Amino acid sequence: MSAYSRDEILRWLGQVADPEIPVLSITDLGIVRGVEIGERVTIALSPTYSGCPATEVIENSVMDALRDHGVEDVEIKRVLSPPWTTDWISDEGRHKLRRYGIAPPEKGASKRALMRGERQVACPRCSATATELVSEFGSTACKASYRCSECLEPFEYFKCI
């Protein structure tokens, strides 16, 4: 019988912040794909994309967080298939992004729909949809830079993947 429950480990993982968007936890992002408790604790994680520079930092943070709670034998399993999608961001994570000033991706939205103008990105500050793309690339590869035509504030949009 293990000294740790799956719920307890998930609660601890909910305290591991994303290094690029620290207002989000890795559970908010939906990158925790599984928790197995046996002779060792195995955590399955999906990177947000295969080239994400934060992947190793996140894996090390998970190891540190679990060791801080007395879990010594930890294995990280990187899961690439199916690939992570922004649809896996929790509703709470989307709310946190918006409060932080980053427009969250809509569930089921696609980059193709945005590029064709079928969908507008709502400003996280005033909720106006009269916004314009300034740059496809924001402060990180997973974000784009936008400007609101109503409140005139710049903001980032977490790209649909």
The per-residue pLDDT for 118 is: 59
pLDDT digits (tens, 9 = 90+) for 81-112: 999 999 999 999 999 999 999 999 987 655 55
- Which candidate, 144, 161, 145, places its Cα nearest to that of 51? 161
Q: Does the pLDDT value for residue 34 go beyond 70?
A: yes
When pLDDT is cut at 50, 70 and 90, the band that residue 116 belongs to is low
Distance in angstroms (rounded) separating the CA atoms of residues 80 and 61 = 19
66-74 CB contacts, 8 Å cutoff, 24+ apart:
66/9, 66/12, 66/41, 69/4, 69/12, 70/3, 71/4, 71/9, 71/41, 73/39, 73/40, 73/41, 74/40, 74/41, 74/42, 74/43
Structure-block tokens of residue 13 = 């993982």
Rounded to an integer, the average pLDDT of 130-153 is 93
Asked whether the CA dihedral 31, 19, 92, 12 is positive or negative, the reply is: positive
pLDDT digits (tens, 9 = 90+) for 12-31: 999 999 999 999 999 999 99
Q: Residue with structure tokens 């990187």?
A: 78
The per-residue pLDDT for 87 is: 92
Q: What angle do CA 148, 136, 48 make, to 5 degrees?
A: 110
| Complete domains list, the chain, with CATH | 6-84 (3.30.300.130), 95-158 (no CATH)
When pLDDT is cut at 50, 70 and 90, the band that residue 155 belongs to is very high
* Helix %, strand %, coil % of the chain (to 5): 25, 20, 50
Rounded to an integer, the average pLDDT of 118-140 is 90
Which region among 1-10, 71-80, 109-118 has the lowest average model confidence (pLDDT)?
A: 109-118
Q: At what angle do helices 55-68 and 6-13 cross, to 10 degrees?
A: 130
The per-residue pLDDT for 160 is: 83
When pLDDT is cut at 50, 70 and 90, the band that residue 137 belongs to is confident
Q: Residue 93 in contact with residue 69, Cβ under 8 Å? A: no
